[in-house]
Amino acid sequence: MPQLPNGVRHRPEYLNRARQEALVAAIRAVVADAPLFVPVMPGTGKPMSVRMTNCGPLGWVTDKQRGYRYQEIHPITGKPWPGIPTELLEIWDDVSGYRKPPQACLVNFYSDEARMGLHQDKDEQDLEAPVVSISLGNACLFRVGGVSREGRTLSFKLSSGDVVVLGGEGRLCFHGVDRIYPATSTLLKNGGRINLTLRRVTP
């Protein structure tokens, strides 16, 4: 495999099956409290193909009028987001190399048809902290590029239990999900893929 950009780390099979199952249970509890919503693009109002929710003191949301941002409450229920499950805080402590805890965990749910266009995670004020990404369920084709949109990209498969860290020079690398590979995991009974990204928002 060609070399990943500096600062981008892929840890295949980081979570064993038992830890993946525990995480799915924890995320189901999050979704029960903070239901999945359909994010829409700023300006155009075009819906994204993923559904999302968050846990943590802050959650990432987007809508037509106000665009990409972090806020303390769920956009539909108006309630504070549920806390970040301890299983996720342990992963952050192990892989982030960052002394402060994450403030947001974005939960993206992909149906087998969903995808995510190439983008940077840059709505955070604290760019010293990495973004830690955890994959559960069906595999996907993940694409990562450099810090400019025009740069060369490379693609590789992310499977259930894999962790990716975007840190240091790689913190602002463009990335996206080109496709989901149906029926490649038995973790989620109804198929699809869950991606969890842990972020530190304020310094």
- Residues interacting with ligand SIN, by CB under 6 A? 106, 108, 116, 133, 142, 175, 177, 195, 197
Binding site partner of 54, from ligand SIN, Fe ion, none, Cβ cut-off 5-8 A by kind: none
Task: Identify which of residues 121 and 162 has a Cβ nearer to Fe ion in the complex.
Answer: 121
Q: How many residues belong to the chain?
A: 203
Instruction: Write down the least CB distance from residue 120 to Fe ion, Å.
Output: 7
Counting Cα atoms < 13 Å in the Cβ hemisphere of 180 gives: 25
Instruction: Write down the least CB distance from residue 91 to Fe ion, Å.
Output: 17
Radius of gyration of the chain from its Cα atoms, rounded to whole angstroms: 16
Identity of the amino acid at 96: S
Residue nearest to ligand SIN (CB): 195
Instruction: Write down the least CB distance from residue 3 to Fe ion, Å.
Output: 21
Binding site partner of 108, from Fe ion, ligand SIN, none, Cβ cut-off 5-8 A by kind: ligand SIN
Instruction: Write down the least CB distance from residue 124 to Fe ion, Å.
Output: 11
Task: Identify which of residues 48 and 188 has a Cβ nearer to Fe ion in the complex.
Answer: 48
Extended beta strands in 48-152, E state: 51-55, 59-61, 69-71, 104-110, 116-119, 131-137, 140-144
Cα–Cα distance measured from residue 28 to residue 5, given in angstroms and rounded to the nearest whole number: 33
* Contact of 30 with 37, CB cutoff 8 Å: no
Task: Identify which of residues 74 and 175 has a Cβ nearer to ligand SIN in the complex.
Answer: 175
Task: Identify which of residues 99 and 163 has a Cβ nearer to ligand SIN in the complex.
Answer: 163
Q: Bridge-partner residues for 175, per DSSP?
A: 119, 144
